[in-house]
Amino acid sequence: MKKNFYKIIIILFVVQFFILFYTFLKKDEEKSPLKIDSKTYRATGYDNRIKGVILHYTALNNEDSLRVLTKQKVSSHYLITDEKEVSIYSLVDDDKRAWHAGKSSFMGRSNLNDTTIGIEIVNPGSQSSKDGESNYIPYTEDQIEKIAHLLKYLIEKHNIEPRMVLGHSDIAPGRKKDPGPLFPWKDLYEEHGIGAWYDEIDKISFMNLETFSKLPIMDIKKEFQKYGYSMPETEVWDSQSIQVVRAFQLHFRPENINGEVDLETYAILKALNKKYE
């Protein structure tokens, strides 16, 4: 009987304590004349923090990809493994800054960790053959299906424009090659309406060798800058400029990644600028 009595006393004491504590907080709140009004006036001059999506390959297996992206000082917002039955992993919330892009730039913006969503895809990347050539491993159909699903969701959620669906190589030419020449940019555009791609009829219209052969180097470089690439403003095709051309070819002409601005590369670039200007 005494035990029950003491229990009741303790419960009443705890309840009284919380009532007094709550009353104290309310009085303290009422004393302050300062309040934040988020209803009376609202600004119209703002836009989304998220401007783009960057695609990467991990160059690791599933287990190591998860370990690196969750335990070390590198991260991505999402991870797509090569296991068919496994869901898309969300590792960092969209409104948080993942560490995936590194030193990067595109469309006049730099430090793209600040404004982009990072998607890592489990893929070994390039494998060196005996003759020194780089061989790439295709993405699986299941991975492509998941990539398309996730990109559609993110593009709609953050109102991302087609040009800002990019590879790591686009924003860090020379330093990065992922997601590699076997990433299905064209298929994602044609089958799912994702990202940017040129119209063949426009490309053909710019395949004029006579006009192309007379163009100053800076006129060609300005076309790369117009699309968004950070192209050096030099009158020569230096090593940094060649890396930008290679990055462009990785994305839009993966059949021949030679770093040279030939007529086809130029025609594709002009067709893209016509479509997305």
* Catalytic positions, written as ranges: 120
The DSSP secondary-structure symbol of 112 reads: G
Beta strands 134-136 and 126-128: pairing type?
Answer: antiparallel
Interhelix angle 239-252/217-227, nearest 10 degrees: 50
Q: Residue 134 belongs to what H/E stretch?
A: strand 134-136
What's the CA gap between 267 and 273, in Å, rounded?
A: 10
- Residue 101, judged by CB atoms within 10 A of its CB (0-12, 13-18, 19+), counts as buried
CB contact set of 270 (below 8 Å; sequence gap of 6+): 202, 203, 206, 223
